[in-house]
A and B are shown apart, each in its own frame.
Chain A
Amino acid sequence: MPWWLPAGIALALVAAVVGGALTALGLAAPGLDLAGNLGDAYLWRVVRFTLFQATLSTLLSVALAIPVARALARRRFPGRGLLLRLFSLSLVIPTIVAIFGIAAVHGRTGWVNDLSELLGLGRTHYLYGLTGILIGHVFFNMPFIARILLQAVEAVPPETWRVASQYGLRSRDIFRLIEWPAMRTVLPGAAGLVFMLCFTSFAVVLTLGGGPKATTLEVAVYQALRFDFDLGRAVALALVQLGLCGAIVLAVLQLAVPGSMTLTEGRIYERPDRGGRLGRSIDTLAIVVALALVVLPLAAVAVAGFNPKTFEVLIDPRLWRAVGQSLVIALSAGVIALLLGGAVLVSSRILRHRLGRPGAAGRLELCASLILVVPPFVLATGLFVLLRPVADVFALGMPLVILVNALMALPFVVRFLGGPMMEEAQRHDRLCQSLGIGGWNRLRLVEWPNLRRPAALALAVAATLSLGDLGVVALFGSQDFATLPLLLYQAMGGFRMGEAAVVAAVLSLLCLALFLTIEWGLGGLKRRAHV
């Protein structure tokens, strides 16, 4: 099998969906006037603001994720495992639920203001505006970066820690010499992904940004496609978004440095920097900040789920039908995403490791992420135009949602599985080649024992991501389709905020349960020793 084939298949799927949707929509537009659409001042004001908030959000998320990942790497405390799982939830929560959770903590009548009033400091409006955008984006993205960084630090071979102990390295030197180099191998990829998510953020920016000054390109696309029914402009704006994001993330990826790994004997050594009062204070502070920014809004979502409607909703068969359908979509999309992500990485690993072309490998992985920056409305409308002449779009609803969700989860799989797969290659690739172990045997005997934990994590993230997604089918129209996010929006649209809160809490708990089941079931309870 040629090295490019696995990635080729996966990326062909991405290209077919994205390219097909955009081309179909572009062809449907009467006279696509690209230049004419890119000339107006409104558009460029929007682009400037989009870039500004996305850059700031990404930088802040990274700046907070580094100390949080460090604290999690060197401290063991009760609830650490739970905190890590909760970290994976923030990406999954539907935006509208997250907005309510954040408002319940940071809003005018939120917990922070309650506390401030209790202390005699009075209430302040600090949420809506740039602060709100940053709080929102840190909530969604900081935990994701922190987990990726933590994974990289935990992969530092024990021997390094032994040497660090022998030299008596201090905390600062450990960061400079050991942790930062490990983080740098994965940080550009993760930051690039977060940048794309912030760039395409719609409701968070509009609602928490406080008003129309906070408009992203995605809002302009929505406006063009839905209110003005200007397909040409929608395609033009989507291409601007794709181009800008692609170029910027490509530039960020240039900062990546390939990791270097030494062979390890696999015994665990203690880190030498757990003592020290300063370090302990910094770590405590980082954990507290993480709790306040991420866990409190999640807690608010859970608390809101207990209201007079709770029992009524919990015994409603519609809820359980939606749970069932959501689980089917989540697991199918998760497995497909894992397979596709694995395929991309098999190829990029060969590029990076055997052919010595890390730049090309990075670009390959980037291609897998580009679906994230295609506005969902453009994607859905494009797919509709593309498929309607050849198939019954209703009958295709479920498979289509699964496919699109799988592709949307693909970039996360690549990020979570990428590091461990490269590390695995560095440890065993030569050995396997010289012993002639390949194919199924290599997967079963060498790769799987070492990769099952990260693979389980990637699958869990991919599946839960799909659980929270509204799905393009909501835009196609449907009769029998019922997922939890859809139920949530329907309840809200009918004034049923109480019922909606229960559905949101059920959705979060289901995500957590699914996450734990996959991680424990597939990943195994204990970390396996390296071969």
Chain B
Amino acid sequence: MRFSTLLFAAAVTAAALPAHAAEKTLTVYTYDAFTSDWGPGPAIKEAFEAECDCTLEFVALDSSIGVLSRLRLEGENNKADIVLGLDLNILAEARDSGLLAPHGVATDALALPVAWDDDTFLPFDYGYFAFVYDTERLDSPPASLKELVEAPDDLKIILEDPRTSTPGLGLLLWVRAVYGDEAPAAWAKLARKTVTTTKGWSEAYGLFLEGEAPMVLSYTTSPAYHMIAEDVERYQAAAFAEGHYMQVEVAAMTKSTDTPELARQFLQFMLSPGFQKNIPTAQWMYPATDLPEGLPSAYDKLVDPAKPLLFAAEEVAAKRKAWVEEWLQAVSQ
């Protein structure tokens, strides 16, 4: 029955709209965790196509940084209309590429904990870095970054490398935000508690779940996955008194897009419930706008940082190299 209905609908559509064959395509460069069947991509594609009269095509690259480097490699001749999934720490480089255009979208709907008035980049989700711990192995986790740094060395943690991963770079900035120029000394103490520093989040989190350490660098929202998808309360994030460093994921339209209206329509759609409602339970981050139906109840149990920490993108761009160098010195002693 359903199939014949579909067939009928298709026939009617085809007859009524002969120009439909030339329907527009919107190409979105993003990373593969976003488009995979476990990510929010498929539902978002369906929802947007239902209202845009177009085809949404995702080009899935290996990482957020891969999206930017692909754009830079292609330069003016890129095929993207939208790039989606850049994080704050590469914004300055993305802006300097000169390949992105102002979005021209009203940002009233945004509900970020920090003010946002960038005319090129539009956020679609955000989160906070945090140490996730195993409640079965750790009764009282450190209550601040300083407590973690000063904890006895037998408290073991797993970290990601700031040279190769986003959370790793996040922690580097977090430590810098809390300790300032004293960061190297703090890193030297953290290094003694570090079981290992992995290439990316997947290795670190997988080793944590295998029991290699009771704490791992991840996000405040990671426990939501375990509570919602697995009904497990065992893994929780530790609230740190100094505040948590933020991650904001943004999208932008390209200068070279041949369908600027459609690109703008997508960016508008991005701030609507049709897009945003997929963020908490498929991307496991906070939506960038308030949701009509609110957040899933598991989100009420998450750590809510009193104070979001964030450096300006330009400052990160200017100092990242020096800070990475400083970290390398401190942890290689």
Contacts and interface: CB of A to CB of B under 8 A. Distances in A.
Interface of A: 28, 42, 96, 99-100, 103-104, 107-109, 125, 128, 132, 202-203, 206-213, 219, 222-223, 225-229, 318, 381, 384-385, 388, 474-479, 486, 489-497, 499-500
B198 A207 contact: yes
B139 interface: no
A107 B205 CA distance: 14
B197 A212 contact: yes
A490 B328 CA distance: 30
Contacts of B66: 226, 475, 477
Given A42-B328, A219-B199, A222-B163, 15 more contacts: A103-B212, A107-B212, A108-B211, A206-B197, A207-B207, A210-B197, A213-B331, A223-B164, A227-B163, A494-B33, A494-B36, A495-B38, A495-B284, A497-B209, A500-B206
A493 B33 contact: yes
B60 A478 contact: yes
A160 B192 CA distance: 57
B225 interface: yes
Given A219-B164, A226-B65, A227-B163, A479 B59 contact: yes
A494 B39 contact: yes
B188 to A, nearest CB: 12
Among A222, A490, A496, A499, the one with the most B-chain Cβ atoms within 10 Å of its Cβ is: A490
Interface in B77-106: 93
B62 A474 contact: yes
22 contacts: A96-B206, A103-B210, A103-B212, A104-B210, A109-B210, A128-B195, A203-B203, A207-B196, A211-B196, A211-B197, A211-B331, A211-B332, A212-B197, A226-B164, A477-B66, A479-B57, A479-B60, A489-B32, A490-B32, A494-B33, A494-B39, A495-B222
Among B29, B210, B328, the one with the most A-chain Cβ atoms within 10 Å of its Cβ is: B210
B125 interface: no
Given A474-B32, A478-B59, A212 B211 contact: no
A496 B37 CA distance: 11
Nearest to B222: A495
Contacts of B33: 490, 493-494
Given A99-B203, A225-B69, A381-B73, A206 B93 contact: no
B286 interface: no
A395 B316 CA distance: 38
B61 interface: yes
A499 B225 CA distance: 14
A37 to B, nearest CB: 14
A202 B207 CA distance: 17
Contacts of A103: 207, 210, 212
A516 B37 CA distance: 32
A219 B163 CA distance: 8
B161 interface: yes
A490 B36 contact: yes
Bin chain B's interface residue count: 35 or more
Interface in B116-142: none
A381 B69 contact: yes
Contact of B59 (A99, A202, A477, A497): A477
Nearest to B163: A223
B74 interface: yes
A379 B93 CA distance: 23
Among A107, A125, A225, the one with the most B-chain Cβ atoms within 10 Å of its Cβ is: A107
Contacts of A207: 196-199, 203, 207
Summarize A's interface: helix, strand, loop or mixed.
helix
Contacts of B197: 206-207, 210-212
A28 to B, nearest CB: 7
Given A210-B197, A223-B163, A477-B61, A107 B332 contact: no
A211 B229 CA distance: 32
A210 B321 contact: no
A474 B332 CA distance: 32
B206 A492 contact: yes
B277 to A, nearest CB: 17
Contacts of B63: 226
B278 interface: no
A228 B92 CA distance: 12
B202 A493 contact: yes
Contact of B195 (A210, A225, A381): A210
A28 B73 contact: yes
Given A100-B210, A490-B33, A490-B36, A479 B58 contact: yes
Nearest to B70: A477
A496 B72 CA distance: 32
B252 interface: no
B265 interface: no
A494 B224 CA distance: 12
